[in-house]
Chains A and B, each alone.
Chain A
Amino acid sequence: MELDRDRLLWLYERMRLIRAFENRLHDDFAAGVIPGFCHLYAGEEAVAVGVCAHLGDDDFITSTHRGHGHCIAKGVPVDEMMAEIRGKVTGCCKGKGGSMHIADVDRGMLGANGIVGGGPPLACGAGLMASIRGTRQATACFFGDGGSNQGTTAESLNLASVWKLPVVFVCENNRYAETTSTDYSIGGPDIAGRGIAFGMPGIVVDGQDVFAVYEAAGEAFRRARDGEGPTLLECQTYRYFGHFEGDEKKYRTRDEEGHFRERDCLEGFRKTVVAGELLSAAELDGIDEASEAAVVKAVEFAEQSPLPEPAECLDDVYVSY
């Protein structure tokens, strides 16, 4: 695993920006200024960032209903994201996608998805394109423990294996499909093992540790780009907020929440790089401040942007073939 200084700074800057973005949305949703539903990614930052660190603009990701972290990790500007989530015309989907259908195809972000298990077939499509064209483009397919139980996911794992597609399936196992615990919703009983069943390596990764995700994803993308086929990474992680904003989280305990808060990916990163003398605490503090400022600026940009005109309602919504 090679980690130069620029890469370390990027990993922390992206995770910290996601955290600041999601914390602000948490507050703004409670204040009633965010239209529609919001599913926040805070707590899971290490997964999106550790995976997307291996992707360029011409690589792809497919996302879930909890897609803000994936967007930021893939390089979608937070100004455009904040405007999109507020339904403004300057948003990356001109305000018509909102939180749950946010996308930025130019940056390889093929869309958040309101349909659980909707992303894996898209990832196979992107992978098939790269395979047919003979490029070295790779696709990361994010889905959750709930999505792992969908038929579309099983079909996609099978298809990707049969065609040896350059897709890395990234299961973000945050222990709850909405409010249903994996303790009694995952038959098998493990998700990584399902990769093995479909003829691809399936491994468990500590999703609270960006270095663990980064290292495992690096090997998975090497396999993908070298034509060795797909890989399933089960990243075990935890979301700090509810399934959706407003969720009272009555299905989990404070002990459990406290346990995972103690293993926070940002704090873990800070401890590791300072102990290893890789970065200084002052450098990280600077990134903290810059991230907060970037989100304030994004909110201002969104607030000052206009709503779409009613006459534009159907523009860019349907595609003609």
Chain B
Amino acid sequence: MSLVGIIANPSSGKDIRRLVSDATGLDNHHKANIVRRVLRGLAAISTFAQAGPAAISHVVLMPEPAGIGHTATTGLDFPFSVAPMAMPYFGCAEDSLEAARRLADDQADVIVVLGGDGTHRLVAKACGNIPLVPISTGTNNVWPRQNEGTLAGMAAALIATGLVPPDTATRRTRRLDILRDGEPFDTALVDVAACDVPVPGARAIWDVNRIRQLVLALAHPGVLGLSSIGGSLPPPTGSERCGLALDIGDGGDTVLAPIAPGLVLPVPVRSFRWLEPGETVAITDQPGTLALDGERETIVGRDDQLAVRLEADGPTMVDVPATLELAAGAGCFIMPTATTA
């Protein structure tokens, strides 16, 4: 019997970037609709797998004050129990972290996450090795893919039931550990930016003139956000794009980078170096704040000894199209022939 968790962050996709860029909002009714589609996808596959030992028995949803789960489940019957997780909730970011922690304790088989890079970062901090099915509903969506809800639900069910072996359709992503005095105390999935804004405030960072250093786990030109600055540089010859450390400022090339929706800006890159897993970058620009995955989180004092280390063993992501392709190849979608008397 298997357990699937769903974490839908009601606050994702509603930050200040709607005022400073062309980012749009995604209201909670839309998120509820996505969760409904996820549940329908889970239910469809679960029906096939009901006879198996790993059939889905429970689906639990992170409770939140916006009522996304209630709206998503109203009027539907499922071949498994669907319930909100028994946890206190306050409608804040910590809810996602707590939900992930409890799902890890309960040994969930897969977690479907609706949010942007920030939400996925919080879940990844606590979920351990549980595979994540990402659905992007945030502003910066570098880590989470734009997966359609129904397909994401089907893929989650295929992984949870073992119809598609997890090791065939998931991949381990990288992460960036934030170190204080050599000890990790926080994590990012995509980018860490040291900026001279003194307080976290509205958290999002979009003014590249305030950024001094940037460390990337992922640098690709096909993504939006700070990691696009590294993505705009030519990749190292003969190897895949790896991690990257950049000093932002005059003295080198200036690249054109899509920082936020509709916001394509010139960014001066003083210097950069490619990183392999295990390499550490010292944060030398102090004081200010560290932005993790595009959101200012940590105040950097004048005497703080902070560093960022690229690690290879980040969270496990389910590749939704690959999962469905493997399932189709194995005949998982062929309906049983009806028997007649």
Contacts and interface: CB of A to CB of B under 8 A. Distances in A.
Interface of A: 1, 3, 175, 181-184, 186, 188-190, 192-193, 195-197, 201-206, 209, 211-212, 214-216, 219-220, 223, 231, 234, 236, 255-256, 259-260, 263, 272-273, 275-278
A276 B90 contact: no
Contact of A215 (B11, B92, B201): B201
A202 B198 CA distance: 26
A255 B92 CA distance: 14
B73 interface: no
> In which size bucket is the chain B interface?
35 or more
Given A192-B25, A216-B16, A259 B90 contact: yes
B287 A276 contact: yes
B336 interface: no
Contacts of A206: 92
Given A175-B65, A202-B14, A216-B19, A189 B197 contact: no
Given A275-B299, A275-B301, A236 B91 contact: yes
22 contacts: A183-B67, A190-B10, A190-B14, A190-B27, A192-B27, A193-B14, A196-B24, A196-B25, A203-B14, A203-B16, A203-B18, A209-B201, A211-B200, A212-B200, A212-B202, A212-B203, A219-B19, A223-B19, A231-B19, A256-B90, A259-B90, A276-B199
B328 interface: no
B25 A201 contact: yes
A197 B200 CA distance: 29
B25 A203 contact: yes
Contact of A192 (B14, B24, B289, B301): B14
B33 to A, nearest CB: 12
A2 to B, nearest CB: 10
B291 interface: no
Contacts of A215: 16, 201-202
B14 A188 contact: no
A273 B92 CA distance: 22
Nearest to A236: B91
Contacts of A175: 65, 91
The 5 nearest A-B residue pairs measured at CB: A193-B27, A211-B201, A215-B202, A219-B19, A204-B14
A202 B202 contact: no
B179 interface: no
B198 A184 contact: no
Nearest to B203: A212
Which of B19, B20, B197 has the most chain A CB within a 10 Å cutoff? B19
B252 interface: no
A260 B65 CA distance: 15
Interface string B290-312: 00000000010110000000000
Contacts of B66: 186, 189-190
Given A190-B66, A276-B287, A219 B16 contact: yes
A205 B10 CA distance: 12
Given A219-B19, A275-B301, 16 more contacts: A1-B199, A175-B91, A183-B67, A184-B67, A193-B14, A196-B25, A196-B27, A201-B25, A205-B16, A212-B202, A212-B203, A215-B16, A216-B19, A223-B19, A273-B199, A277-B301
Given A182-B65, A202-B18, A216-B202, A189 B11 contact: no
B29 interface: yes
Contacts of A263: 92
Contacts of A219: 16, 19-20
Given A183-B67, A188-B29, A259 B199 contact: no
Nearest to B91: A236
Interface centre among A193, A197, A223, A272 (most CB of B within 10 A): A193
B156 interface: no
B71 interface: yes
A231 B32 CA distance: 24
Nearest to A213: B202
Interface in B8-65: 10-11, 14-16, 18-20, 24-25, 27-29, 32, 65
Interface in B201-224: 201-203
Contact of A189 (B14, B18, B19, B68): B68
A216 B18 CA distance: 10
Given A183-B67, A215-B16, A260-B90, A188 B27 contact: yes
B184 interface: no
B79 interface: no
A222 to B, nearest CB: 8
B251 to A, nearest CB: 26
A36 B159 CA distance: 63
A206 B92 CA distance: 9
